[in-house]
Amino acid sequence: MIFLAVGTQFPFDRLVKSVDIALGYDGSEKVVAQIGNSLYQPRSFKAVPFLEKHLFDKCVHEASCIISHAGMGIITMALDNNKPLLVMPRLKRYGEVVNDHQIAIARKFEGLGHILVAYSVENLPEKLRQLKTFVPKPRQSQAKAVAERIGQFLSQIGAEK
C-alpha cells in the first residue's frame, strides 16, 4: 500500500494531481491518501482530508512506501519506520507554502540517501518507479554533535553581552 500524505496546513493539489496521473486510473496500486483541504479530487484512489493520529500512524506503519511533501514531521516518521519516502517540496511560487524551506530540507535528506525527491511534476513518474526498489539509508543519531553546536551558539550569545 502506498501512503500519500500532504500535511494539513496548506493544500498541495500539485502533488495530489501528479500522483493521481502518474499512477493512472486502473487501480492496480492501492493508495491511502490524506490530502488536507485539496481542491483536486483524485480519480485513481480514494482520499480523505484528514486522518486521526492513530489512523495516520497505522497508515505509516502498514505502507510499503510513502509519498509526501518535504516536511520534517513526515520525513522523521518515515525514517523512524524505515519506510521508503518520495517527497515533492512545496513551493512558494505556487502558493503551497510561505517560503521555499522545503527545498533545502529535501536536498539535505536526499544527499544523505534517506529519501527520494521529485523537484518537479515532470520527474515524478520516474521517481515513483525508483521508489519501488529504493532502500533508505538508516539515519544515525547525532545528539552529541547537535548539543555541542547549541552549546557553541549559546556561548557566542553570552560572549556578545
- Interval 22-81: pLDDT, tens: 988 666 779 999 999 999 999 989 999 999 999 999 999 999 999 999 999 999 999 999
What does the pLDDT read at residue 27?
Answer: 66
Task: Note the pTM of the prediction, 2 decimals.
Answer: 0.87
- Residue 84 near residue 134, CB atoms below 8 Å: yes
What does the pLDDT read at residue 160?
Answer: 74
Average pLDDT over residues 98-110: 95
The domain ranges of the chain are: 2-160
Of 116, 121, 118, the residue nearest 83 (C-alpha):
116
Determine how many CB atoms are found less than 10 A away from the CB of residue 135.
8
141 compared with 105, residue with greater pLDDT: 105
Residue with cell 544527499: 111
Domain 2-160 -> CATH class: alpha beta
- Residue 103 near residue 110, CB atoms below 8 Å: no
